[in-house]
Amino acid sequence: MLIEQYLPIAILLAIAIVLSLIVVFISRIMGPFRPTAKKLSPYESGMTPMGPAVRRFPVKFYLVAVLFILFDVEVIFLLPYSILVQDLGVYGLITVSIFLTVLTIGFIYEWKKGALEWE
């Protein structure tokens, strides 16, 4: 039964959310609250920051995210095969090795193109 399997997880999720919200708001209720302009400045007690904090960031991070999406989708494709390795036998192994060959060619291309270098 679906509900028997997932309802307990929903209950745990509800407890976890309530608990985390309590944890996050308890300091506001129990702790002091005396804000001053200096205290609320970014990086208080450190050097005064210059310029805005949220600015353009290196495009490398974006590239990593794109590569991650590509490979993660491929990992998801391998998941159903993993369960049925024994049942599909040699036929399945040949099929999945064709898929993995295409994946490996893409991976080697990325590597040689320098997409994995972090300069």
Partner 1 sequence: MSDFVIFLIDALVKSLIIVVSLLTGFAYTTVLERRVIARIQVRIGPNRAGPFGLLQPVSEGLKLFFKEDIVPNEADKVIFTLAPVITAVPALIVLAVVPLGSEVTIPFLNYTTSLGLSDINVGVLYILAVTSISVYGITLAGWASANKYAMLGGLRSAAQMISYELALGVSLLVPVSLAGSLSLGAIINAQDPVWFVFYPIVGQVAAAIFYIAILAETNRAPFDLPEAEQELTAGYHTEYSGMKFAAFFMAEYMKMIAVSAIFASLFLGGYRLFGLEDLLGGWMGPLILAGKVVASLVFMIWLRATLPRFRYDRLMSFGWKVLLPVSLVTLVLTWVVIVLELIPVAL
Residues in contact with partner 1 by CB under 8 A are 4-9, 11-13, 15-17, 19-21, 23-28, 30-35, 37, 39-44, 46, 49, 52-54, 57, 60-61, 64-65, 67-68, 71-72, 75, 78-79, 82-86, 89-90, 92-93, 96-97, 100, 104, 107, 111, 116-119
Q: DSSP class of residue 47?
A: P
Residue whose CB is less far from partner 1, 68 or 109: 68
Q: Which of 45, 49, 47 lies closest to 36, judged by CA? A: 45
To the nearest whole angstrom, how small is the minimum distance from the Cβ of residue 43 to partner 1? 5
Q: Is 69 helix (H, G, I), strand (E, B) or coil?
A: helix
- Give 72 or 105: the residue with its C-beta nearer to partner 1: 72
| Distance separating alpha carbons of residues 54 and 5, to the nearest angstrom | 43
Residue with tokens 């994995």: 116
Give the residue with the Cβ less far from partner 1, 60 or 109. Answer: 60
Alpha-carbon span 94 to 88, nearest angstrom: 10
